[in-house]
């Protein structure tokens, strides 16, 4: 048994998932076999997954199944074994990915600054850089996390988020790439065509020539902390130090909340640790399922 308030949230999640299944999710996990309509439905599996992370802070599949078996059996009487539950979840990676899209589009808070965006990325680690990766090798590679001062194998989650003054920024778009992909490369491919926008990024986005073209073409500017210029004399550095420090501090204070957003994601979903994942589909569920679980609360 669970508390009444949590039971109501479980019902709301289930009803929302059923609504989305009728609209489009069913096409991303469609079966063409004699077991195309299993007794224990995909809607129920996604509900257990999202609810277990959102309300119970149970991040591992085994923990979710154990919790559902002990406390949600009256709600889901046809719940099967852990092995079947795990296999079924891994088949829903595309459904979780599709579920995330409307959560970021339909529930944008009213206090978003639609002309100001923050950019950053965070690592999703499958194993340390000293080891040889054996899981999802077709989509992961080796990268470096400068903020943590470490090399790792895995993915990188890139966020473009609307600024919200005094609150956590709200993601406009999320991109997942292999760990080695540079943040500036992602911007050039995915977001360079956005017009009439002020972007706040860290030093990795420093590229005057490129962003001067963007400013002329799209009326968008990129503000980053001042980066030292190779070959610059000590006299030049000292002459501009005070102004550069003030500008860098101002930009950093504006973009700091996106780091808090990533910390919130890690606290709510433990998304950064993917060392227990054992397949490519499992890794995709780990990423998009946990992102959906973090933002499913917006429907309430």
DSSP-assigned letters across all residues of 118-178: EEEEEEEEEEETTSPP-SSTTT-EEEEETTTTEEEEEEEEEEEEEE-TTS--EEEEEEEEE
Q: Provide the token pair at 92.
A: 């829903």
Judge contact between 114 and 130, C-beta under 8 A: no
Question: Average pLDDT of 267-288?
Answer: 94
Assess if residue 199 is contained within a domain. Answer: yes
197 and 263, same domain (yes or no):
yes
pLDDT band at residue 283 under the 50/70/90 scheme: very high
Domain count for the chain: 2
What pLDDT, on a 0 to 100 scale, did the predictor assign at position 266? 95
CA angle 43, 10, 265 (to 5 degrees): 90
Question: Average pLDDT of 25-41?
Answer: 82
Residue-wise pLDDT for 190-223, tens only, equals 999 999 999 999 999 988 899 999 999 999 999 9
pLDDT over threshold 90, residue 10: yes
Distance CA 198, CA 223 (A): 7
122 and 76, same domain (yes or no):
no
Assess if residue 291 is contained within a domain. Answer: no
41 and 128, same domain (yes or no):
no
Which residues touch 242 (CB under 8 Å, ≥6 apart)? none
pLDDT over threshold 80, residue 232: no
pLDDT band at residue 258 under the 50/70/90 scheme: very high
Q: What percent of the chain has pLDDT over 70?
A: 96
44 and 117, same domain (yes or no):
no
Average pLDDT over all residues of the chain: 91
259 and 156, same domain (yes or no):
yes
Residue-number span of the structural domain to which 173 is assigned = 112-276
61 and 116, same domain (yes or no):
no
140 and 270, same domain (yes or no):
yes
Residue-wise pLDDT for 49-88, tens only, equals 999 999 999 999 999 999 999 999 999 999 999 999 999 9
pLDDT over threshold 70, residue 236: no
Q: Answer with the residue of higher pLDDT: 233 or 166.
A: 166
Assess if residue 144 is contained within a domain. Answer: yes
Q: Provide the token pair at 78.
A: 């046809």
Q: What percent of the chain has pLDDT over 90?
A: 75
Query: Phi then psi for 114, rounded to 5 degrees?
Result: -70, -10
254 and 163, same domain (yes or no):
yes
Assess if residue 104 is contained within a domain. Answer: no
Question: Average pLDDT of 176-184?
Answer: 95
263 and 120, same domain (yes or no):
yes
59 and 163, same domain (yes or no):
no
Q: Provide the token pair at 233.
A: 């004399």
pLDDT band at residue 37 under the 50/70/90 scheme: confident
Of the candidates 231, 278, 271, 221, the residue with the CA atom closest to the CA atom of residue 251? 221
Q: Provide the token pair at 19.
A: 């609504």
What pLDDT, on a 0 to 100 scale, did the predictor assign at position 235? 67
140 and 207, same domain (yes or no):
yes
Assess if residue 296 is contained within a domain. Answer: no
Assess if residue 141 is contained within a domain. Answer: yes
What pLDDT, on a 0 to 100 scale, did the predictor assign at position 148? 80
pLDDT band at residue 240 under the 50/70/90 scheme: confident
176 and 206, same domain (yes or no):
yes
Residue-wise pLDDT for 119-149, tens only, equals 999 999 999 988 888 889 999 999 998 878 8
Helix and strand totals (H; E) in the chain: 10, 6
Assess if residue 294 is contained within a domain. Answer: no
Among 28-32, 182-186, 204-208, 268-272, which is the least confidently predicted range?
28-32
Assess if residue 267 is contained within a domain. Answer: yes
pLDDT over threshold 90, residue 226: no
């Amino acid at each position: 048994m669970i508390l009444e308030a949590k039971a109501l949230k479980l019902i709301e999640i289930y009803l929302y998932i059923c609504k989305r299944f009728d609209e489009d999710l069913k096409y991303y996990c469609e079966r063409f076999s004699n077991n195309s309509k299993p007794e224990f439905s995909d809607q129920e599996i996604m509900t257990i997954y999202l609810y277990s992370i959102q309300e119970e802070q149970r991040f591992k599949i085994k923990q979710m199944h154990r919790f559902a078996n002990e406390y949600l059996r009256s709600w889901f009487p046809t719940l099967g074994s852990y092995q079947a539950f795990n296999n079924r979840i891994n088949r829903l990676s595309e459904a979780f990915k599709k579920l995330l899209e409307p959560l970021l589009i339909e529930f944008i808070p009213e206090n978003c600054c639609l002309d100001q965006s923050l950019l950053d990325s965070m690592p999703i680690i499958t194993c340390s850089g000293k080891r040889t990766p054996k899981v999802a090798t077709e989509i992961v590679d080796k990268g470096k996390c400068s903020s943590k001062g470490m090399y790792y194998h895995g993915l990188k989650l890139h966020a473009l988020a609307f600024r919200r003054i005094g609150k956590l920024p709200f993601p406009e778009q999320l991109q997942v790439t292999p760990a080695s992909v540079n943040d500036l490369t992602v911007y050039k491919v995915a977001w360079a065509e956005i017009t009439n926008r002020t972007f706040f990024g860290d030093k990795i986005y420093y590229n005057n020539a490129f962003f001067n073209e963007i400013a002329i073409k799209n009326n968008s500017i990129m503000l980053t902390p001042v980066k030292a210029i190779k070959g610059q004399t000590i006299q030049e550095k000292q002459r501009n130090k005070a102004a550069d420090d003030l500008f860098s501090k101002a930009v950093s204070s504006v973009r700091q909340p996106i780091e808090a957003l990533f910390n919130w994601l890690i606290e709510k979903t433990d998304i950064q640790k993917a060392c227990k994942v054992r397949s490519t589909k499992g890794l995709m569920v780990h990423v998009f399922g946990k992102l959906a679980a973090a933002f499913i609360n917006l429907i309430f």
